[in-house]
Amino acid sequence: MKNIPYYIVIGILAAASVSCGKESVSQVSTFPEDGVVRINAVVAGPVEVTDAQVTRGDAGKPTEYSGKDLGFFIDYNDNGPYSRPNIRWEKDPDNGWQPESQILWRNSRSKADIYAYAPYLDGETDSTKIGFSIPADQLNGTAGADFLWFAHKKFDPNADLSGSKAIDITFNHALVKLTVSIT
């Protein structure tokens, strides 16, 4: 009977030495606890062509996207319930970007193809072929002729989300924001 307390003490000491030997490493995850997809949207600087060189104007200085809406696709390449085509997002001055219906991540590990474009066009179903036409009358400006796009294949929500737990969309200009200087 005297040996029982020694076994208990030895067991406790062994457990304590094992637990103290491992350092605990805490990792900060940018994956949202509620699993909701959120976005931020900016526009890359315009492209400038001078002396046969192509450069991006205001390099490294994207500006906030000031449009009122955008189209968004998330595609897990399986036609499942987490793949969502052409969801309209609208800018809310108080709460940032809000989707017309809530979009959820499948989980923190599944990669998805993300596509966004602006302005939003109703009825689009193919993220790789958006039907956009330039207005014939541009007397009031060219803003209506600018098409913006963003694509990120194999987006990893565990690694690619921003610190605000959102997708950082950086739009590129596809049409009128091209500046050509002829010298």
Residue ranges of domains in the chain: 30-130+139-181
With contact defined as beta carbons under 8 Å apart, do 75 and 87 qualify?
no
Higher per-residue confidence, 29 vs 50: 29
Contacts of 88 (CB under 8 A, 6+ apart): 69, 70, 71, 72, 99, 100, 120, 122
Fill in the amino acid letter for 137. Answer: D
Report the share of the chain in percent with pLDDT over 70. 69
What string of DSSP letters covers 126-149? Answer: -TT-------S--TT-SGGG--EE
Instruction: Give backbone dihedrals phi and psi of 67, rounded to 5 degrees, phi first.
Output: -70, 165
Q: Which helix (H) or strand (E) holds 153?
A: strand 148-155
Q: Is the pTM of this model over 0.85?
A: no
Contacts of 19 (CB under 8 A, 6+ apart): none
Find the radius of gyration of the CA atoms of the chain: 25
What string of DSSP letters covers 57-124? Answer: TTTT--EE---SEEEEEEE-SS--TT-EEEEEEEEETTTEEEESS--B-S-SS--EEEEEEES--TT-
Residue 136 is predicted with a pLDDT of 76
With contact defined as beta carbons under 8 Å apart, do 58 and 46 qualify?
yes
**Backbone dihedral region for residue 34 (phi beyond 0: left; psi -120 to 50: alpha; all else: beta):** alpha
Kindly report, residue by residue over 143-169, the tens digit of the pLDDT: 667 899 999 999 999 999 999 999 999
- What superfamily would CATH give domain 30-130+139-181? Fimbrillin-like (2.60.40.2620)
Residue 22 is predicted with a pLDDT of 46
Q: How far apart are alpha carbons 148 and 155 in whole angstroms?
A: 19
Fill in the amino acid letter for 119. Answer: P
Q: Work out whether strand 112-118 and strand 69-75 pair parallel, antiparallel, or are unpaired.
A: antiparallel
Residue 18 has pLDDT above 90, yes or no: no
